[in-house]
């Protein structure tokens, strides 16, 4: 199956949604290349970047599920590498 490399940028404004976010990332863990989290205490948000190599529909599903969590925003940037 053809995969794509992408970066999912996540901003967490509601830390109460963090357990659901971590569960989703765990479910899709086999596709995740790496992730980095940065707490921005002055603005009371957390910024997370997730590098992923997966089929396009898997990337879209994960990003959509993350974006539906309360107080969490997700945007995805795709590479041209297939």
Residue 18: CA atoms inside 13 Å, Cβ hemisphere, count?
A: 11
Architecture of the domain whose range is 4-78: 2-Layer Sandwich (3.30)
Q: How confident is the model at residue 1 (pLDDT cuts 50, 70, 90)?
A: confident
Rounded Cα gap, residues 80 and 49, in angstroms: 18
Rounded Cα gap, residues 69 and 62, in angstroms: 11
User: Model-level pTM?
Assistant: 0.92
The residue-averaged pLDDT of 50-62 equals 97
- Please classify residue 59 by burial: count the beta carbons closer than 10 Å to its beta carbon, then call 0-12 exposed, 13-18 middle and 19+ buried: buried
């Amino acid at each position: 199956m053809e995969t794509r490399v992408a970066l999912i940028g996540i901003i967490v404004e509601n830390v109460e949604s963090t357990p659901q976010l971590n569960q989703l990332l765990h479910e899709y863990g086999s596709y995740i290349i790496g992730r980095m989290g940065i707490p921005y205490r002055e603005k009371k948000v957390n910024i997370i970047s997730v590098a992923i190599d997966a089929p396009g529909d898997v990337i879209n599903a994960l990003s959509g599920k993350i974006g539906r969590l309360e107080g969490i925003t997700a945007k995805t940037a795709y590479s041209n590498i297939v």
